[in-house]
Amino acid sequence: MSEHFSSQSPKTELKIAIVGDIHEQWDATGDRQALELLEVDCVLFVGDFGNEAIEIVENAAALPFPKAAIFGNHDAWYTASDWGRKKSPYDHALEDRVQVQFDLLGNAHVGYGCLDLPSLNISVIGSRPFSWGGGKWKNKKFLSERFGVNNFDESLKLMMRRVESAQCDNVIFLGHNGPTGLGTAPEDMCGRDWDPLGGDFGDPDFEQAITATKELGKNISFVTFGHMHYTLRHRKDRLRTRIKHQDQILYVNAAQVPRLKNYPNGDRHHAFTVVTLNDGQPQKSELVWVNPIQNTQECQTLWDCHQLEFASS
């Protein structure tokens, strides 16, 4: 699915905002104003809007920007597992709120999909939606019924079908959880921070899709995801590693949770992770707190292509 291809040459300097796990922290007016202040070319949502938070998904879908989203484990909180269905506040015989969310986003939902944005020369490819992370195949019935996918191998094959259909020169991978291969320490990008011994909690099929895409010779502008929140459970004196440039690919974890900061004077700061691209190559990534009331931005550089080393916290 794509916007219309036109004869105009695509824009080469791009500013892309990534909205980390929202978990109900969305302010319809303020977030729209903040994105307008940032003057972004595209907005990416890494999922976990809330626990099947239809209103927030509806609001994101209505934003007047090119956008792509992938659903997280919380976006099927009351649907994907027997455990969740037992806690459901609604009757599944009467409502399918996961389907409502799909319908609201339409082709902007890229989980197991691809959205071509020819005016930006970017194809956004989604990994496995609703991921909980880790090396165990979870939510078997749900993934089989919704996507016809029954194991990691079938999951990889479906992602690669989308990669092969991508029309633009540059690929952005959008996942809910990140890929394996980014470290095994608890504070690594997808590290198990609830276990002092750590372990890699990335998605193995996602890592394989990235490797196979590189082997096809496609340019991967960057890989972004959320799910593994910045605050760590095993220690409070540092944050999770948020960004990593590894084997010529930029990996960006955008899970700033909570993403709204409220101040006594009524001001509210909204967090976005911003990546700038030039001709499909990443130039810089920043965590930006935008105050749409005062029209101010506080930027923290997470990575810059001109500097080799960056602090991870």
**Contact set with Fe ion (CB under 5 A):** 21, 48, 72-73, 227
Of 13, 17, 18, nearest in space to 37 by CA: 17
Cβ-based nearer residue to Fe ion, 21 or 187: 21
Cβ-based nearer residue to Fe ion, 25 or 291: 25
With CB atoms as reference, the residue minimizing the distance to Fe ion is: 21
Q: How far is the CB of 225 from Fe ion (least distance, A)?
A: 10
Cβ-based nearer residue to Fe ion, 73 or 139: 73
Q: How far is the CB of 165 from Fe ion (least distance, A)?
A: 27
Cβ-based nearer residue to Fe ion, 37 or 257: 257
Q: How far is the CB of 76 from Fe ion (least distance, A)?
A: 11
Q: How far is the CB of 290 from Fe ion (least distance, A)?
A: 21
Peptide bond before residue 258 is cis, with ω within 30 degrees of 0: yes
Q: How far is the CB of 258 from Fe ion (least distance, A)?
A: 11
Strand ranges in the chain using DSSP code E only, listed in sequence order: 13-19, 42-45, 67-69, 114-117, 122-126, 170-174, 219-225, 243-246, 249-253, 260-262, 268-278, 281-291, 296-304
Cβ-based nearer residue to Fe ion, 56 or 168: 56
Residues contacting 172, CB < 8 A, separation 6+: 16, 44, 68, 122, 123, 124, 125, 220, 221, 222, 223, 224
Residue 114 dihedral angles phi and psi, to the nearest 5°: -145, 130
Residue 218 to residue 196: CA distance in whole angstroms: 37
